[in-house]
Amino acid sequence: MQPTPFSSRAEWFEALDDVPSNPSRQPSLGDLIALRCDRRGFLKGALGVAVAGALAKTQLEQAALAAEPSHPAASRFGFSEISRGVDGDHHVAPGYNAEVLIRWGDAVLAQAPAFDPLQQTVAAQRQQFGYNNDYIGYIPLPLGSNSSDHCLLCINHEYTDEELMFPGLGQYDKALSQATAEICQIEMACNGGSIIEIQKQQGKWQLVADSPYARRISALDTPMRLSGPAAGDNRLQTGSDPSGTEVIGTLNNCAGGITPWGTWLMAEENFHGYFIGELADGREAANHKRLGVPGQRYAWGRFDARFDIGKEPKEPNRFGWIVEVDPLDPQSTPIKRTALGRFKHEGAECIINGDGRLVIYSGDDQRFEYLYKFVSRDPVNLQDRAANRDLLDHGELSVARLQADGSLSWLPLVHGQNGLSAENGFASQADVLIDCRRAADLLGATPMDRPEDIEPNRHNGKVYVMLTNNSKRSADQQDAANPRANNLWGHILELTPEGGDHAATNGRWEILIKAGDPADPAVAALWNPATSAQGWFACPDNCAVDPQGRLWISTDQGKGWKKASGGADGIWALETDGPLRGTGKLFYQVPVGAEMCGPCFTPDGKTLFVAVQHPASDGTKDYPGFNRASSFEDPATRWPDFQPDMPPRPAVVVISKTDGGLIGS
Ligand code: FEO
Ligand code: CA
Ligand code: CA
């Protein structure tokens, strides 16, 4: 393993995103026109009237003009903002409580031993809450109810930071080379997900300790099945699975989704980092290169042949999928749904379309990657849960092209169409799905600034796209939908499906906000002028639409927090409609080194669950007074326990209003 210049796992993951693997980044003619005609600057220009109509002022710009300071519009968010800053603790708006619900090492299964960070074992970790909680999904109990005081929470565990988890490993570089077989197995048990049953008692959420639904899913030993068009394909067959349909475990489970029938979708994101070795089978070389395999950032392959591509060249093809889990049946086998394509899936948020079919949006989180959506062939059956068992095996995956005139096309990733044929290396639909990125390249999809969460809002029919950042976009790669070179701050797009039809192949897009400091002209941010000094943010990553239809954003600035915003990550409310459209408001802030994940509301809007991921990890060299990389013995914070013998622990936090009212009221 090579020494790395990074001081933490999180910084390495961020740097991975800094290595674009998409070779097809030539601006199109439309992009070039857009570049020359910046959407705002263009109105002063002298090109044709028809184009001018298409490039008229954005809604935000119109809203900003309409927002007369003498007649301030009413905010949909009633809370008082906290101050931007960074310290060792978390903070929430006045009048709210923020309490830890479950932390790394807490019991998930009833028999789990007490957490002992000095003597962690594989057996203990298999029963305990995993590391780096990300997505949080809420399934009301009883199923089909609208209960806001009893549920299953489905929580993803994305990856591990062994330098903060295990004593004696020192900082990141050393930890990597010193990982033992047991440490690797504990890490495998830390990936995946946890299902917990929780109930509100006397106004406080509590774990149901002996829940029959409690479950740990991991990379270590959870059997999974591949289904859909690519299942069983030769390219998914390995020495231990000649059928190409059975996989052990899931990796790097980032964001996700909950289906209308109450199953949990786990997105496999940066799976490439778990593989080492030199490729023995040249047939997969282009595929692996396009996805950055082998990433060589975990030692697992030294002890487990399936993570060494010299021994199992096709094993990486069995990751990078969306995994469907039935939390209501703890014995069920999670299923990797190949119809949804293989890439670095950030999430999988869904909506029932007007015609009853399910539409799932998914971003591919790397610089210059694409937006995807899947439309099921069949309608969702809300009366008979079992009827949806194979719904995600049949349907059409497509990828987005965003034209400079604000129009949007969804290009079908279907074998035999538009050049996706044998002469271009796609012999079957399995090839299209396994090599999704390369198929999308061929179709001319639009390379975006790191697509993370994509969330439909059923209240207004729009779809919100989080684009985290892209420090590698150069001036000659700017386009209308990714309008800033060296974009350290990210932006948010709003998509409008044609005719309110999420299955439509056309639509419109526009920029909702361009993140970063609006007071710094060099940033070229775009906010509603009503946004306060705390209310703007940088690097939107996840988001949630609350039961009132309001949008909430969580951020991940990585190690670049100081330059991007000067404060820690957190949750911001963001107005999407009316004169205050594009106004942000700071609600919650994470401890130093953490990123904010998983915002999730109860159906009544009175509880907000958030996931604090990797406290003490990212960018601690810029943390005033600490100014060094963290380790187990010397972390930048010991949140949330603040005990000298306890390391920092990723945790799910429950936020509620002190008076029991609506969040954000
Ligand atoms: Fe796992 Fe793209 O954040
Ligand atoms: Ca994310
Ligand atoms: Ca992220």
State percent of the chain over pLDDT 70: 90
Q: CA torsion, points 139, 142, 147, 150, in degrees to nearest 10?
A: -80
Choice among 47-51, 286-290, 309-313 with the minimum mean pLDDT: 47-51
Domain edges within the chain? 9-269+320-657
How many Å lie between the centroid of ligand 1 and the Cα of residue 502?
A: 24
Confidence (pLDDT) at 59? 58
pLDDT at 245 over 80: yes
Whether 79 contacts 601, CB under 8 Å: no
For the residues 352-371, what does the mean pLDDT come to? 98
Indicate if ligand 1 lies below 6 Å from the C-beta of 17.
no
How many Å lie between the centroid of ligand 3 and the Cα of residue 514?
A: 18
The overall average pLDDT reported for the chain is 91
Indicate if ligand 1 lies below 6 Å from the C-beta of 452.
yes
| Phi-psi sector, 95: left (phi>0), alpha (psi -120 to 50), beta | left
How many Å lie between the centroid of ligand 2 and the Cα of residue 623?
A: 22
User: pTM here?
Assistant: 0.92
Indicate if ligand 1 lies below 6 Å from the C-beta of 346.
yes
| Phi-psi sector, 584: left (phi>0), alpha (psi -120 to 50), beta | beta
> What tens digit of pLDDT does each residue of 322-346 get?
999 999 999 999 999 999 999 999 9
Indicate if ligand 1 lies below 6 Å from the C-beta of 365.
yes
State percent of the chain over pLDDT 90: 86
Confidence of residue 117 (pLDDT cuts 50, 70, 90): very high
CB-based burial, 126-164: b 16+ in 10 Å, e otherwise? bbbbbbbbbbbbbbbbeeeeebbbbbbbbbbbbbbbbbb
Choice among 47-61, 361-375, 634-648 with the minimum mean pLDDT: 47-61
Q: 96: helix, coil or strand?
A: strand
Q: Which atom of ligand 1 is nearest to the CA of 252?
A: 1
Q: Which atom of ligand 1 is nearest to the CA of 17?
A: 2
Confidence of residue 25 (pLDDT cuts 50, 70, 90): low
For the residues 18-37, what does the mean pLDDT come to? 47
